[in-house]
Each structure stands twice: as C-alpha cells, then as structure tokens.
Structure 1
Amino acid sequence: MSRWDGKTKGSLTGYKIFLFFINSLGLNFAYYLLRVVTFYYYLFASRPRKALLEFYQNSLHTSRAAAKKLVRTNFYIFGQTLVDRAAFLLGKDEKFTHTFENEQYLIDIRDQGKGGILLSAHLGNWETAGNLLKGRITPTINIVMLDAEVENIKKYMDLSTGGSRFKVIPIKNDLSHIISIRNALVSNEFVAIHADRYLEGSKFIELDFLGKKAKFPHGPFVIASKFDAPVTFVFAAKDGEYSYHLSATPPIAGKAKPEEIAKLYVAELEKKVREYPEQWFNYYNFFN
C-alpha cells in the first residue's frame, strides 16, 4: 500500500460479527476476540505491517524488536477504536471515561459565536471524540471527510445503530462542501477536518515531518485560512482500556496563511505521534 486511495477497508461480515458480540456478550468479550483477529491480521496483512515497521524504525528510530511490538499493539488498538465506535452508536458507552486537556479553548471558541475549525489526524479515535464532544460543548459537530466507505457497510451500520451522533460533510468535486462548511460556521457549529492524508493527484503542501519531507493535503489548511473562525488542533487518543485523552491547542485567531497553519499543525502532530506511536493509523508509505 504505497499510497492512500481514500477508501476505508473492512468487510460487512466483520462488522456484523462485532456488532453481535457487543450487543450479546459485551465489550470485554469483543476485546478478547479482537486479540485473535488482530494477531491473524498481523501475520497476513503484509503491506500495512511493512509500512508501519518502516515508519517506526526509520522515522521514530526504534529497534526492529520494538517496532514489531508496536505494530501488533497498533493493530489491536485500531480494532479497539472500531469496537468503541460501534459501542457508542449502540448506546453501550457507559464504561467509557475521558479527560480533556485544554477543554476551555473549545468553550472560548464557542462563546465567540463564529463557529470553530478543528484540525485533527488519523491518530487515536476521531469518531469517538466527536461523540464525546457532542452535547457537552456544542450541540453539533460536523466532520468533513471523503465519503468513500463501502456503501453496504455504511447502510448496515446506520440501520443497526442509528448512525453517527454527528453530521458528515462529504467532500465533493462540485465544492458544495465549502458551502456546507460556511453554513455550519455561521450557525456557530464546530467543523472537524483531517489534515494528515494526502490523496494522489490533489494539491499538497510539503513539510518536514519527523526529519523527512512529507506531503500534506492543501485543502484543509486553505479552508482554515479562508473563514473568519478560530482554528485549533484536536486529538483523542486511548489512554486506557475504556478511557480517552482529548486535547486542544490554543486557537489561531484571525486569518493566517495556509502554510503558517500547516507548519503549526505538523509540529503538534509530531508531538502526538511521539506520545502515542501505537495509535498512528496510516498504513501506507507516508513519505512516498
């Protein structure tokens, strides 16, 4: 997997199995089953395993043995985030707790009345973060994303769980998502965007990341620079079996250039990757 193709991997059968076990036997059993499933995945998913091994050894400078352990942990925690996602949608979230570092920043953004742009990454569990934020700080969270999940999986998840607790703004070629983002901000809502995955053929910004040049998507930083709304970087990482640690950075006030926002974002992303290396969920050659 040398490049990201914009699609979410997974089988409908797998989703059905885990939804059944969460509903019938609970989270503990689902987590136990995950250990078997993710160990199988570690043995036979050669391309994502290789991509992670190279990332841990060449970018984070771990030993081969440490990198292998991180990869196995990564696959398991990624599976947990999917199970956690389903648990929240099924209303089985009573076990979960979280702490929020700098939560006041988001409250201050809300109180300004201009909405807010939250830039995040494929590190930790962004969807659970949206579920945790909804109703606590703002009634509506909008997540801008490529609407490229396998359609039958999406339909099954929506029918089985009632769907996500936040709005999705799909990125479209006609740029209608820009209007949706504007409308959300005008309504003083939060708009969350991933800014770490560059899709082949789209515009990008090349920056130093962990000592190497890497391409980051240009679009999220352009959006963050164009609207008169505060911008902050938000992450949600698992810090226990049933707990999450959320964090936010000081808001960028006023209009900044896309390149300036991108540099600040990448610096923060580096910190989070070093803090939670086992939760870096990009399974391709990030520096290709």
Structure 2
Amino acid sequence: MDKKWDGKTRGSLAGYKIFLFFINFFGLGFAYRLLQAVTYYYFLFAGKPRKALLDFYQNTLHIPVNQAKKLVRKNFYIFGQTLVDRAAFLLGKNKQFTHQFENEQYLIDIRDQGKGGILLSAHLGNWETAGNLLKGRITPTINIVMLDAEVESIKKFMELSTGGSRFKIIAIKDDLSHVIAIRNALIANEFVAVHADRYLEGAKFIELDFLGRKAKFPYGPFVIASKFDAPVTFVFAAKNGKYSYHLSATAPIVQKMKPEQIAQLYVTELENKVMQYPEQWFNYFNFFQ
C-alpha cells in the first residue's frame, strides 16, 4: 500500500475463493487457524502497511517498538478475521456470533423520528458484520455510501458465491447522483452510513488535530451530515471476542451544525475508539501527511 490512500480495496480473487471454501466446508475455527499462517506471511513481507502501522503505534500512540511490532501482527490477524467474519455472514454461517450494543436506544430513537439517520463511522473494527447482526432489528435497510472501486472480479465472485452484500450501496459519482440517492433514502426513513476517516487525494478535505498530529479528513461526509434534515450519530463496531462484537452509538446530533463542528466531534469520538481498540485501526497507509 502507498503513502496515500487511492480509493481502492486490495485483495486477490484466489484468496477469497480459498477462504470461502474453507468456511463452507471446515467452519470458522479452521479458517481462523489458516489465517494465523497467512497473516504472519503478510507481517513478514507486506512492508508498506507494516511500516505505516509501526509509525502509527510508535509515533502517534507512543507504544514501545517491541510492543508495537506485536500489535501490528495482531492487527493483521484481526483484520483477516473481520474479512472471514464478513464472508461467514454472507454464507449464512453466523449462528455462533454474539454482540452487545452500547446505546442501541439512540438508533431506535432516530428511526422513530421518521427522518432517516446518518451514521458516520471509520475503518476501525467491522461495521458491515455488526450491521448484519442487527439486520431487521432496528431498520430493514442500511445504505452504505462508498467509492465503488473494488476489484471487479472479486466483487463478482462474492456476489456469485454468497449473494453479495446485505446492504444497499450508494456509489459516489462525479455527477453527484449519490446526493439524490442519499436524499431519497432519508425520505424513506432509511439509515445512510458513511466512513469519514479516509481522505482521497484531490478531494476536498478538512485538517484537524488527531491524536496529537495533524491529519486530513474528507470534507464530504461532514457536508452530508450538515446539509440533510436527519439526525447524525457516530457508530463503531469492534471485535471484542473470538465470535463477538461490541457496537456503540453516540447521542444523535439533531440541531443544525457546520461541517467543521461535526468533524471535530467525530474526531474526538474516533480518538476514544482508537485508544480503546488500537489493534483494530485498519488504515494501512501514512495517515498523517
């Protein structure tokens, strides 16, 4: 991975095929054991993401070098687990998973207002699997706003093998058609989830203090949160056990705020979550430019 995020998700079609096969025929436990070898290989040879994480742990969180190296290895392994968990849900192998939801009532309150809801999250933990845990419990539909830049062959294989994601995807387009799609989803009292932690080179950004260092955050998610007449909450889902997740939501923002004000509140909450789950920071590039 490069110093800057380019909007693309890495992965190999062969890797997806192998893990889908093992999950289907040998179960999650076997897939996790296989992951230990696979992720150790990445720890040894994936130099750029390893270097980015070491910098983050040592120079941002001020973790001693030996502990930081152990944390990088743990990070790679848990990230692999979240990918396996996602595939397991899509394959219907999800009965052994449990979860707890801190402040679930906030999302119920948002739903009951009838204006839809905007959920700002980050690449920390695994919101997609957690969303699957809540499928139909709070809302029948969650829309994910994202750059549609995944490798096409992998996406096609996942759809053929598992039926695809259980979420609606709102792809960000140059013609701004995604703004209309977001508006329509909120009018239908649906939730719209946006990751607000990855700045794409060339896009508008806001620079903020994050864990004591200057970092660029994408401006778009905070504009969306400020412009629509819908409650806004920050949601996170971290793996807190072999087959369990901890979900959380913040008190909804219901009054009008400027994008910069929402961004500052978001960054404060993200800092708290990173300190709580440093091993689940899944941004494998130099976050501080």
Give the TM-score normalised by the residue count of structure 2: 0.99
Q: Secondary structure at the match of 1:52?
A: helix
Q: Secondary structure at the match of 2:9?
A: coil
**Alpha-carbon deviations, 1:38-84, whole Å to 9, x = none?**
00000000000000000000000000001001000000000000000
| 1:82 match | 83
**Alpha-carbon deviations, 1:1-48, whole Å to 9, x = none?**
210010000000000000000000000000000000000000000000
Q: How does 1:1-288 map to 2 (within 5 A)?
A: 1-288=2-289
Partners of 2:251 and 2:4 lie apart in 1 by 32
Partners of 1:223 and 1:254 lie apart in 2 by 14
CA RMSD of superposed structures (Å): 0.5
Letter in 2 for 1:131: N
- Give, in angstroms, the shift of residue 166 of structure 1: 1.1
Letter in 1 for 2:263: A
Partners of 2:15 and 2:270 lie apart in 1 by 31
Partners of 2:192 and 2:75 lie apart in 1 by 27
Q: Secondary structure at the match of 1:37?
A: helix
- Give, in angstroms, the shift of residue 131 of structure 1: 1.3
- Give, in angstroms, the shift of residue 132 of structure 1: 2.0
Partners of 1:32 and 1:2 lie apart in 2 by 31
Q: Secondary structure at the match of 1:82?
A: helix
- Give, in angstroms, the shift of residue 134 of structure 1: 2.2
Q: Secondary structure at the match of 2:110?
A: helix
Partners of 1:75 and 1:132 lie apart in 2 by 23
**Alpha-carbon deviations, 1:79-105, whole Å to 9, x = none?**
000000000000000010000000000
Partners of 1:163 and 1:10 lie apart in 2 by 16
Instruction: List alignment gaps of at least 5 residues for structure 2.
Output: none
Partners of 2:75 and 2:109 lie apart in 1 by 34
Q: Secondary structure at the match of 1:235?
A: strand
Letter in 1 for 2:101: F
Partners of 1:163 and 1:172 lie apart in 2 by 21
**Alpha-carbon deviations, 1:146-173, whole Å to 9, x = none?**
1110000000000100111110101111
- Give, in angstroms, the shift of residue 129 of structure 1: 2.1
Letter in 2 for 1:211: G
Letter in 2 for 1:101: E
**Alpha-carbon deviations, 1:167-223, whole Å to 9, x = none?**
010111111000000000000000000000000000000000000110000000000
Partners of 1:133 and 1:184 lie apart in 2 by 18
Alignment check: 8 A CA contact 1:214 1:287 kept: yes
Q: Identity percentage over the alignment?
A: 81
**Alpha-carbon deviations, 1:216-266, whole Å to 9, x = none?**
000000000000000000000000000000000000012210000000000
Q: Which runs of 4+ in 1 moved over 6 A?
A: none
